[in-house]
Amino acid sequence: MVAERAVVVGAGLAGLRGAEALRRAGFTGSLTLVGAEAHRPYDRPPLSKHVLTGAVAADATTLPSFLPLEAEWRLGTAVTGLDRRNGRVRLADGSSLAFDRLLIATGTRARAWPNPHEGRLAGVHSIRSREDATALRTALAAGPRRVLVIGGGFIGCEMASACRTLGIPVTLVEPSTAPLARVLGTHMGDVIGALHTARGVEMRCGTEVEWLEDDGRGRVVRAHLSGGDRIEADLVVVALGAVRNTEWLAGSGLSADAGGLDCDADGYALDTEGRVDARVAAAGDVARFPHPLYDGRRVALEHWSHAVAQAEHAGRLLADRKACSHYAAVPTFWSTQHGINIKSVGLTEGADGLVIAQGSPKEGRFLAVYGREGRCIAALSVDCARWLPAYAAQVAARAPFPPIHGAIDQPEHRPVLPPGFS
Amino acid sequence: MADATLLDQVKDRKNRADPYPLFARLRETPVSRQHDGTYVAATHAAVASLLYDPRISSETLPPSKRPLTGNPFTDWVVKPIRQHITDTHRPFIFRDPPDHDVLRGAVMHQFTRERVQAMRKRSDRLVADLLNEKCGAREIDIVDDLAYPLPVTVICELFGVPREDEPKFHGWATQLATALEPDSLDDDAVRAKNSRCFDEISAYMAGLIRDKRRHPGDDMLSGLANESAPGIGRMGDYDLVATSILMLVAGHETTVNLITNSMLTLMRHPEALERLRAEPGWAPRVLEEVQRFDPPVQFRTRKALADLAIEGTTIPEGAPVVLLFAAAGRDPQAYADPDRFDPDRHDNRHFGFGGSLHYCVGAPLARFETEAALAALAGRLQNPRLAEDPPYRPGAALRGPQHLRLAIDGIA
């Protein structure tokens, strides 16, 4: 066999696990990993949790490698283009790399504050990279008077939690009526919001930050809300979600936009005509694929375990092109807020019903199941993760909703509630 | 016994020394129904799946057999503590969340790193002292001379039981452990004996708790009796008695068997004993492998709260479910070469300490006591020889040798 060349673009969690899977599946050709950041692959979940409180140093998050990769690393080098006709990726330093097999795992970046001038003010931060987390940790350790978190998604909520752990006053502004509403619906969002309020987070839901004011010397001092209110804050964290890194694919002929790079059910990249390019696979945050559990709805998932599972799948796919199989892992995620463990399986989108299956939100410990058209589609556990695998099995089996009857610590009445998706 | 089910044969004393061939046959049907309507889970996958299924309950005890008499004086005034515990304040090993979590949480709050570290040091000392007492002997009974006295002293000291009362606990712990055997409730003589024993130990514990309130020490019982756990509060008195009894009983028999089963396994694998002698730091791997290979808790019984489809069978609502941990440990689907004792194996996901929400509270104690015992026995016994195949105690669920006599040339 002619020595084959594999290139992995993106040196994060998905890139690393995908490269390992290539090797594990017996790929013996040359292997190059390209990463825009200067670091070996590192773990991001701690950056919005333990790194902020100082319990873990940002540079202690390097991911372990599970086997010798025998790879060439091109770190600190962004990828700028893809030339499929000649089988090359172009790099920011002007060079290019030839490939026979390409794994795209370029992930996402933090969505910037829409006003670039305000976004550059001293005291305005976001969290995505190790450097972001280090800067934020330093700012928190300096003892800000009040932190303003813009955005009530997972990162925003974890940020608010870290502030309270450190005893720093914090306000969270979220345009919808509850935090996490997009992912969990307003019903569960309200439950999580109440946990934050009880731990001293000032929740400002249903309003938006219109602009950030500085002190005339380039440092942020307050935020102005859409209703006219002002929040005095010397540290602002923008947590408006992520943008997928697909711009470099412009002109490549692959079907990609801000929502991700389109793949088929196996994980191969699709071109704008919908044809498979069997040399190219994608994994992690950047990959948009039809999920078989959800009637082939195209999704791009920003979850840790998904990045691992899909990258391992894609690595195998690229190593042995005959070994096609649909990628169908049940999505999962977790979050830690105020020491409370929040976990989920499945996708809540489109849910039309919600049931508290075990425990009770009042006691801060429960398991909720989301249903759609009479099937279980997702489950959420709050300090109750032990039972989640049993519900994951129900989701994977598309079991009838309402779910499991007869469980320990089960409420006697289990009405089907409106989950609150707009 | 021609039509005895496999589980009956497991319980039969004549199979006590080696139930593993029976387990292999039980594994042929991952979840099988016994003639009495009990379901047995015997493969690793089935046990793991049921342990983490919310439709499996630990509230398996039947309602108390002595209902209220209708006489308010006997029902409420002279009602023994035992009655309160069996009626409404059962120990948390027999309870489900949320009550289980509250009681266990209160115990875990007192199970501090400092207490565990202090007992680890203490347990090394106790092992050394117990072996020193046998200096010059030509025979040692691992059970009577070490495995039995060690855990009871550790748990009594942890709880602040006065030294002179320790011997009482030997008897109580052994008797009450029989209550965990599946058939014990059917035997009137055993029930009567357990009740008497229960009355004695609960009266003693109630007195000890009063004492800990008057003169708090830095032991765990003083902590439980006097301090509030955050978000939990202070345990009620009946729950406190029930919990203390549970800790004393559960922490005893099981650890005796873990130490003894480990030593017996080492005697039957001389190369492993030799390696442990040279490498005492290997003891943790040895004991984890024994937890897979010959665990002291062979099975536990739970109850299905709903019809439960698993491995091609439906366990009906209300059925008792036996989780056969010891059979799961030898499952060839879960382990390469499962009948080989190999402390270096990397696929060891044993159920020796159970799993899920009832995972052994005392696991850290069991681990360091056993590590200390094994390292010292391997290092100090001179030329140990197995004097006989050991006799076993009656229990099938909590299974272990009655005695383990070794001929030795001395103790270093």
DSSP B354-405: --GGG--TTHHHHHHHHHHHHHHHHHHEES-EE-SPPPB-S-SSB--BS--E
Summarize pLDDT for A330-365 with one digit per residue, the tens: 999 999 999 999 999 999 989 999 999 999 999 889
Q: What is the DSSP letter of B320?
A: E
Q: Do B357 and A386 touch (CB under 8 A)?
A: yes
Rounded distance between C-alpha atoms, residue A340 and residue A179, angstroms: 15
Q: A104 CA to chain B: closest CA distance, Å?
A: 33
As given in the structure block, the two tokens for residue A279 are 């040399």
The count of structural domains within chain B is 1
Q: Which of A363, A365, A407 sits opposite B55 (nearest CB)?
A: A407
Summarize pLDDT for A256-303 with one digit per residue, the tens: 999 999 999 999 999 999 999 999 999 999 999 999 889 889 999 999
Say if A359 is an interface residue toward chain B (CB within 8 Å). yes
What pLDDT is stored for residue B2 in this prediction? 45
Ranges of each domain in chain A: 5-109+243-319, 116-240, 339-396
Summarize pLDDT for A220-231 with one digit per residue, the tens: 999 999 999 999
**Fold matches, A5-109+243-319 and A116-240:** yes
Which stretches of chain A score pLDDT less than 70? 1-2, 322-324
Minimal CA–CA distance to A293: which of A386, A390, A393? A393
Q: Which residues have C-beta within 8 Å of that of residue B252, sequence separation ≥ 6? A: B151, B152, B155, B169, B173, B174, B177
Secondary structure (3-state) at B39: strand
Rounded distance between C-alpha atoms, residue B266 and residue B274, angstroms: 9
Say if B52 is an interface residue toward chain A (CB within 8 Å). yes
Spatial contact of A332 and A343, defined as CB atoms under 8 Å apart = yes
* Domain spanning A5-109+243-319, CATH class: alpha beta
What pLDDT is stored for residue B1 in this prediction? 41
Rounded distance between C-alpha atoms, residue A211 and residue A114, angstroms: 10
Tell me if B405 is assigned to some domain. no
What pLDDT is stored for residue B76 in this prediction? 59
Q: Do B305 and A390 touch (CB under 8 A)?
A: no
Nearest CA in chain A to B49: A390
Rounded distance between C-alpha atoms, residue A129 and residue A151, angstroms: 18
Q: Do A363 and B98 touch (CB under 8 A)?
A: yes
Q: Which residues have C-beta within 8 Å of that of residue A135, sequence separation ≥ 6? A: A125
Tell me if B401 is assigned to some domain. no
Q: With b meaning 16 or more CB within 10 Å and e meaning fewer, what string describes A13-47?
A: bbbbbbbbbbbeeebeebbbbbbbbebebbbbbbb
Summarize pLDDT for B81-135 with one digit per residue, the tens: 877 887 778 889 999 998 999 999 999 999 999 999 999 999 999 999 999 999 9
> Mean pLDDT for chain A?
95
The single-letter code of the amino acid at B130 is: L
Minimal CA–CA distance to B344: which of B293, B294, B282? B282
Rounded distance between C-alpha atoms, residue A182 and residue A349, angstroms: 8
Centroid of chain to Cα B130: 22
Which ipTM value was assigned to this complex?
0.80
What pLDDT is stored for residue A379 in this prediction? 97
Rounded distance between C-alpha atoms, residue B156 and residue A364, angstroms: 36
Which stretches of chain B score pLDDT less than 70? 1-3, 62-79, 185
Residue by residue, what is the 3-state secondary structure of chain A? CCCCEEEEECCCHHHHHHHHHHHHCCCCCEEEEEECCCCCCECCHHHHCHHHHCCCCHHHCECCCCCCCCCEEEECCCEEEEECCCCEEEECCCCEEECCEEEECCCEEECCCCCHHHHCCECEECCCCHHHHHHHHHHHHCCCCCEEEECCCHHHHHHHHHHHHCCCCEEEEECCCCCCHHHHHHHHHHHHHHHHHHCCCEEEECCCEEEEEECCCCEEEEEEECCCCEEECCEEEECCCEEECCHHHCCCCECEECCEEEECCCCEEEECCCCEEEEEEECHHHEEEEEHHHCCEEECCCCHHHHHHHHHHHHHHHHCCCCCCCCCCCCEEEEEECCEEEEEEECCCCCCEEEEEEEEHHHCEEEEEEEECCEEEEEEEECCHHHHHHHHHHHHCCCECCCCCCCCCCCCCCCCECCCCC
Q: Which CATH number is A339-396's, of 3.90.1150.10, 3.30.390.30, 2.30.40.10, 2.40.280.10?
A: 3.30.390.30
Secondary structure (3-state) at B163: helix
Q: Do A407 and B97 touch (CB under 8 A)?
A: no
Longest Cα–Cα distance of chain B, Å, equals 67
- What is the strand order of the sheet A220-225 is part of? A209-214, A220-225, A230-232
Note down the domain range covering B329. Answer: 6-395
Say if B311 is an interface residue toward chain A (CB within 8 Å). no
Chain B positions in Cβ-Cβ contact with residue A387 (cut-off 8 Å):
52-54
Q: Which CATH number is A116-240's, of 3.50.50.60, 3.90.79.10, 3.40.50.150, 2.40.40.20?
A: 3.50.50.60
Rounded distance between C-alpha atoms, residue B296 and residue A304, angstroms: 38
What pLDDT is stored for residue B291 in this prediction? 98
- Cis amide bond preceding B98, omega within 30: yes
Count of CB pairs separated by less than 8 Å, A with B: 44
Say if A202 is an interface residue toward chain B (CB within 8 Å). no
Q: How many CB atoms lie within 10 A of CB B31?
A: 25
Sign of the four-CA dihedral A373, A375, A376, A378: negative
Q: What is the DSSP letter of B88?
A: T
Spatial contact of B52 and A392, defined as CB atoms under 8 Å apart = no
Q: Which of B54, B307, B317 sits opposite A408 (nearest CB)?
A: B54
Secondary structure (3-state) at B314: strand
Q: What is the DSSP letter of B63?
A: P
Q: Do B54 and A359 touch (CB under 8 A)?
A: no
Q: What is the DSSP letter of B235?
A: P
Tell me if B35 is assigned to some domain. yes
Say if A358 is an interface residue toward chain B (CB within 8 Å). yes
Say if A54 is an interface residue toward chain B (CB within 8 Å). no
Question: What CATH code is carried by the domain that includes residue B274?
Answer: 1.10.630.10
What pLDDT is stored for residue B70 in this prediction? 62
